[in-house]
């Protein structure tokens, strides 16, 4: 055990083993979901879903309604909030991956420009 502040602690053992996750696979899945969330198709699906939900729970058979309009469609609000709480981090993860790709592309462009400049200076001598 480390008694001093400048000595790192030993690693803690966990009762639950850590799962190794392929970060690239997670990133690709995240980008796919984020891309779909930004499409007109998703907006149409979500609009139709909400419209059917509201119509069914407002004018559907009394015994088959499952989300009361009197209380402001609580279940629908909960589902949309849950969807939004998952969508925001997925979009941020996709943006981070895009930033990484842009950074690599910019670095490659800079290196290519330096090589072109060096070649041009050599040929101009």
The 10s digit of each residue's pLDDT in 8-28 is 777 777 788 888 889 889 889
* 13 falls within a domain: no
For the chain, how many structural domains are there in total? 1
Backbone angles phi, psi at 88, to 5 degrees: -60, -50
pLDDT digits (tens, 9 = 90+) for 24-72: 898 899 999 999 998 999 999 999 999 999 999 999 998 999 998 888 8
Tell how far CA 12 is from the center of its chain.
Answer: 30
Model's pTM, two decimal places?
0.67
Would residue 55 count as lying in a domain?
Answer: yes
Residue 96 in domain: yes
Residue 46, domain extent: 23-120
């Amino acid at each position: 055990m480390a008694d001093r502040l400048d000595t790192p602690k030993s690693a803690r053992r966990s009762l639950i083993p850590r799962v190794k996750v392929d970060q690239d696979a997670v990133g690709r899945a995240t980008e796919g979901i984020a891309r779909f969330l930004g499409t007109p198709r998703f907006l149409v699906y979500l609009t139709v879903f909400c419209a059917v939900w509201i119509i069914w729970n407002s004018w559907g058979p009394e015994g088959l309604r499952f989300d009361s309009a009197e209380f402001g469609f609580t279940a629908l609000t909960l589902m949309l909030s849950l969807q939004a709480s998952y969508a925001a981090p997925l979009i941020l993860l996709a943006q981070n991956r895009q930033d990484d790709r842009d950074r690599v592309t910019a670095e490659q462009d800079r290196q290519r420009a330096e090589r072109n400049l060096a070649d041009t200076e050599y040929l101009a001598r």
